[in-house]
Structure 1
Amino acid sequence: MKIQLALDRMDIAEAIELTKNVEDSIDWIEVGTSLIKEFGVASIKEMKHAFPHKQIVADIKTIDNARYEFELCFDAGADVATVMGVSPLVTIDTCMEVANRYQKKVMIDLLNTLNEQKKALQKYTDAIFCEHVSKDQQEELGSQNQGTRPSDFSAFQVAAAGGIKLDSIGNLIESLNPAVVIIGSAITKAENPSAAAAHFKQVILQTEGIKTC
């Protein structure tokens, strides 16, 4: 199970410095949507340059103009780029085609997708599917239900994002068993980000050990 560090609401230098402090405990580095919007694909390039051996996820949240945006991300050094599951299927088809050509991966964000849309998305067997609780839901509605997320994609590679904390990750692993857990503010805004990331890693390793016994 991989830890994907989500980097948002900071500048590139801060993102690099913070990631250096937690590098040993995380696996994938997400160049967050706000980072890309504020600083462009330079944010992807600089993160890949600073961490060439890490998987870099460009959380571009494409919903249209797929070929142009995905080529931008992959040319900048991203290993994974994101597309919204509510996009037209032709958009997601294009994302998959570009990713295959670059030998990269697509993460499909399931935020606000309907059941019928989810059924149609299951043809993308090579994609990673992200079960996502939105930032607005967390901040504006104060959603506390971060631990249990039944998935329609249990047979696929699944990522989980949104409000994941140390006191909820155990239930999340038990209910969803994600391949990737996407953690942002619980690490980036912690008093000691390095210790927080190490604690998450420890909990994951312990939980995985229990599941294999």
Structure 2
Amino acid sequence: MKIQLALDRMEIADAIKLTQLVEESIDWVEVGTSLIKEFGIHSVKELKQVFPHKTIVADIKTIDNARYEFEMCFQAGADVATVMGVSPLVTIDACMEVAKKYNKKVMIDLLNTSEEQKRELLRYQDAIFCVHVSKDEQETLGAQNRGSQESSGFFQKAGVELAAAGGITLDSIEGLQKSLCSSVVIIGSAITKANNPSEAAAKFKEIGLQLEGV
């Protein structure tokens, strides 16, 4: 189980400092959508320069103009870039083509996708599928609203790589992993807003190792 640190709603310098505090306990570093929107692709470049040994995820949430946006992300040093699963399939096709060109990965965000769309997306066997409870859903319905995750069981049966995101805490991660068996767990505020981010990240890492039977 890889732990992906989600960095959102902060300055680039603060994102770097926070990542330095927890880097021993995390595997992937996500340059969050808000960072990219506020500071541009420069945010991806800076994080990759400081953490060249980490997998950098550009959470750009592409939904159109895919070829341009994915080229931009991978040229900036991203190892993974995200596209919305509700995008036209031609858009996701373009993402997959660019990723193959750069030998990088595509993460498909399943937020608000229908069951029919999920079935269509299974054609992208090389992608990472992210089961995602949105920030707005968390704030309105609570972080434990996992209906969209429960509806994605056929992704497990298909044997594709899964990621989970959205309000994951130390209290919820074990149950989530037992039901979803994701290979990537995306943690945001449970680390970034913790009183001691380093300690929180270490606890997530410890739980991850326990769940793997190490």
Partner of 1:182 in structure 2? 186
Partner of 2:110 in structure 1? 110
Give the SS at the match of 2:86. coil
Describe the superposition over 1:168-194 as per-residue Cα deviations: whole angstroms up to 9, x where unpaired: 000011001100000000000000000
The corresponding residue for 2:55 is: 55
Whether the aligned pair in 1 keeps the contact of 2:133 and 2:145 (CA below 8 Å) is no
Q: 1:203 to 1:51 in 2, by over 3 A?
A: same
Quote the residue 1:207 is aligned against.
211
Q: Name the counterpart of 2:155.
A: 153
Q: Distance in 1 between matches of 2:22 and 2:146?
A: 23
SS class of match (1:25): coil
Q: Provide Cα deviations, 1:77-116, integer angstroms capped at 9, x if missing partner.
A: 0000000000000000000000000000000000000011
Counting only pairs closer than 5 Å after superposition, residues 1-213 of structure 1 correspond to structure 2 as 1-146=1-146, 149-150=149-150, 151=152, 152-154=154-156, 155-209=159-213
What TM-score, normalized to structure 1? 0.96
Amino acid at match of 2:47: M
- AA matched with 1:29: V
User: How many residues matched?
Assistant: 210
CA distance in 2, matches of 1:143, 1:195: 22
Dislocated runs of 4+, deviation >2 Å? 140-152
Unpaired stretches in structure 1, ≥5 consecutive residues: none
Preserved contact between residue 22 and residue 197 of structure 2 (Cα < 8 Å):
yes
Q: CA deviation at 1:146?
A: 4.6
> Gaps spanning 5+ residues in structure 2: where?
none
Which whole-Å CA distance do the structure 1 matches of 2:167 and 2:25 have between them? Answer: 19
TM (normalized to structure 2)? Answer: 0.96
Secondary structure, aligned partner of 1:149 = helix
* Contact 1:147 1:168 (C-alpha < 8 Å) held by counterparts: no
SS at match of 1:175: helix
Question: What is the deviation of 1:143?
Answer: 4.3
Root-mean-square deviation (Å): 1.3
Cα offset, 1:142, TM superposition: 2.6
Distance 1:147 1:28 in 2: 26
Pairwise CA distance, 1:139: 1.1
Tell me how far apart the structure 2 counterparts of residues 43 and 14 of structure 1 sit (CA, whole Å). Answer: 11
Secondary structure of the 2:44 match is helix
Contact 1:146-1:163 at 8 Å conserved across structures: no
Q: Distance in 2 between matches of 1:148 and 1:4?
A: 20
Q: Which amino acid aligns with 2:24?
A: D
Q: Is the 8 A contact 2:143 2:166 kept in 1?
A: no
Change (3 A) 1:85 1:147: closer
What do residues 111-137 of structure 1 show as CA deviations (whole Å, max 9, x unaligned)?
000011011100000000000000000
